[in-house]
Amino acid sequence: MFHKEGFLIISLSFIILVGIGVSAEYFISNILIQKSFQIFCFFLLILILQFFRNPKRDIVPNNRKIYSPVDGKIVEIKSVFENEYFKDNRRLVSIFMSPINVHVTRYPSSGVIKYSRYHPGKYLVAWHPKSSEKNERTTVVINTPKFGEILYRQIAGAVARRIVNYAKKGENVVQGEDAGFIKFGSRVDLFLPLNIPINVELNESVVGAKTIIAGEL
C-alpha cells in the first residue's frame, strides 16, 4: 500500500523512468551501458516506491501510552526549554528518519488538537542541533486524556522539501491514524511532560504506531 501523498510522484516517476529505459534500447548501442542504465532506472523506481509505502498499522488506542509517531531512530532524549507553545521545560524525544524509513506521521495519542502551525525555514541536516528551530517545520499540540498537552514537531531535513500536516485545531484525532507525511528524509520531535516515564533509549530503532515511547508498557 502506498501513501496518497506519493501517488503523483509515483505516477510521473513510472512514466519517466520507463520511458527512459525503453529509449535506451534505441539510443545506446553498447549493450553493457544500455543494461546498466536500465537497471539504474529500475532501482531508482523501487527506491521511490519504498519511500512512499504506507504499511497498515492496526492498534487499539490506549490513553495510557504514547506511541512513536514515525519510524526511525532515537537520536535525543533530554529535558529542554520548549519556546514556541509551552514556554517551559519539557522532555524531548527526537526521532531521525533516514530516506529508507516509512515517512508517514501518525498521531502518537488520541485527543483534541489545540495548536497546529506551519513554519517556513531552512533545510539543515535533520540531526543538526538547530534544525528544530531553524528548518521548515510544523508544530502540533494534542490535548490527551491522560497526560494533558503533548507536542510533536515535523522537521524537514536537507533533502525533504515538503511537509504535509493533516492536524487541524479543534478536531478530535485517534492514536495511530495518519497525521501527515514528510517527503524525503526528516525528523520528528516529541515534547512530553517531565514526569512521564520514557520507555526508549538513545539509538533505539522505533516503529510508528508500534513502539511505546512513553507511559505504560
15: alpha, beta or left? (left if phi > 0; alpha if psi -120 to 50): alpha
Which position has the grid cell 519504498?
50
- 137, 138, 142, 139: which is closest to 170 by C-alpha? 142
Distance CA(131)–CA(186), nearest Å, equals 10
Is position 11 annotated as part of the catalytic site?
no
Catalytic residue, candidates 109, 131, 132, 186: 186
Residue 40 makes CB contacts below 8 A (sequence gap 6+) with none
Q: How far is CA 159 from CA 71, 151, 189, in A?
A: 17, 24, 18
Q: How distant, in Å, are the alpha carbons of 60, 101, 149 from that of 111? A: 14, 26, 9
Question: Mind telling me the catalytic residues?
Answer: 186
